[in-house]
Amino acid sequence: MMDLNLVRVFIAIYETRSVSGAADRLFITQPSASYALSRLRNETNDELFKRSRAGMEPTPIALQLYKVFKKSLTGIEKAVADTRNFVPATSRQKFRLALSDLGELLLLPGLVASLRVEAPHIQLEVVAIESLRLNDWLLTGKVDAAICNRNETISSAQRELLLYERYVCLLNEQHPRIGSTLSFDEYMREQHVIVAASSGHHIVEDRLKEFGLERDIALEVPRFSALGELISSSELLVTLPSAAAKIYQRRGNGRLLELPFQVADQEVFVYAHTEIGDISAKTWFYNFLKDIAPGLMDH
């Protein structure tokens, strides 16, 4: 009979494409994961994984085994989880949530307030989002969930569409060249401040490239948090989701104008692997986020 711990290591290597990633997910040492892989190879009489530039690539035998092992292990762990009730009101569980600083601005106050009501002893750690690393973070358990724009690099995770973000332009209240409306020529003549593409907000650049155009970028910042003061003290334009623009406008940091060209609304999702780790706790956290987050955005 196959040792369940070996099955867990196999699935972790398959999904992370890395022995070290599997070790991180399972909270074991890398030598322990390597030893488990060696035992698996002996048990199956197959190499199972081959090293490549893309990571540990599964052999045809491994591809077959994964489907069976994954279904079987998920069933076993769900059956065990069903015997343990997660009680939010008394749990002291720690959850890690990946958010951009825009997500912190828009969602975090309401999330914390709701957590204090439903799960007052829960500890929440917010991790600054890195779009290209999110898939690994979710697979290895570095974060329990992420709320972000649609991210095509995230594979096999559960996801729920939370809302759509509409983009607008925020500018100085007393901008000397722009009145109550904004034309395309005016937009392209002005200088702009942008947030780094690693934040996941690059839809405007993608749209303008379709026209064969580029904005005049005067400043690139890593986070949204500095934008309010920048706009109120300069003539730069910033294009950002309307919910964030409204917050800055209420603070007196600028005024909001509609864009002079169409940009598709951005889809915002919550992502999680509820079958990794404590199933009952992670399922509750995922459901909590997908239920509460849509109502916290001020459109």
- Please write the tens of the pLDDT for every residue from 253-263: 999 999 999 98
Retrieve residue 23's tokens: 């070790």
pLDDT tens figures, 148-164 = 988 888 877 899 999 88
Q: How confident is the model at residue 225 (pLDDT cuts 50, 70, 90)?
A: confident
The sign of the dihedral angle between the CA atoms of 114, 120, 126, 131 is negative
pLDDT tens figures, 197-208 = 766 667 888 888
User: For residues 171 and 254, is the Cβ–Cβ distance under 8 A?
Assistant: yes
User: For residues 198 and 130, is the Cβ–Cβ distance under 8 A?
Assistant: yes
Q: Is the pLDDT of residue 299 over 50?
A: no
User: For residues 268 and 194, is the Cβ–Cβ distance under 8 A?
Assistant: no
- Give percent of the chain above pLDDT 70: 94
User: Of 7-11, 93-97, 177-181, 188-192, which gets the smallest average pLDDT?
Assistant: 7-11
* Domains in the chain: ranges and CATH: 4-83 (1.10.10.10), 89-164+267-298 (3.40.190.10), 167-263 (3.40.190.10)
CA nearest neighbour of 271 among 119, 117, 153, 125 = 153
User: Of 3-12, 75-84, 272-281, which gets the smallest average pLDDT?
Assistant: 75-84
Using the structure block, give the residue that is written with the tokens 């890195």.
Answer: 130
Q: Is the pLDDT of residue 139 over 90?
A: no
CA–CA gap between residue 212 and residue 184 (Å, rounded): 14
pLDDT tens figures, 55-110 = 899 999 999 998 888 888 777 766 665 556 788 999 999 999 999 888 888 899 99
Highest mean pLDDT: which range of 112-116, 136-140, 276-280: 112-116
